Amino acid sequence: MRKQVLAISAILAAMSAPIAAQAQSDTVGVRGGAVVVDENGGIAVDQRPAFREYVIRERVPNYSIPDRVIVGGVLPETGVTYYDVPQTFGATPFRYTVVNGRTVLVEPRTRRIVQVIE
């Protein structure tokens, strides 16, 4: 009986390890009493409205692509211009552009979408 309990415990621990590791992938901080989730160096939740306004003021062109605009999607190698994120929105290694009417952060080397700014 004891061996069965230990085996079941080991199986449950092995199954929950990937879930625990995934839960730790986001950085969580507290600012002004509100919890802010900074998704791997992206635009923080409290900065997104101001960032959207900035993109509109800059009149960044909208690029159309046939694919869906989702995190993990890869943008075309040519035909899209990427812009630096201003320091006022935090230091980030990513660049931004507007595709299919949606502002996205992109990893510059791979052109992979890392955040869609809603």
Query: Which tokens sit at 14?
Result: 């092995």
Question: What ranges do the domains of the chain cover?
Answer: 2-117
Give the number of other Cβ atoms within 10 Å of residue 83's Cβ: 13
Residues 25-53 as b/e (b if ≥16 CB within 10 A, e otherwise) read: eeeeeeeeeeeeebeebbbbeebbeebee
Tell me yes or no: is domain 2-117 CATH 3.10.450: yes
pLDDT tens-place string over residues 36-90? 334 467 899 999 999 999 999 999 999 999 989 999 999 998 889 999 999 998 8
pTM of this prediction exceeds 0.75: no
Alpha carbons 37 and 25: distance in angstroms, whole number: 11
- Given this model, what pLDDT does residue 102 score? 94
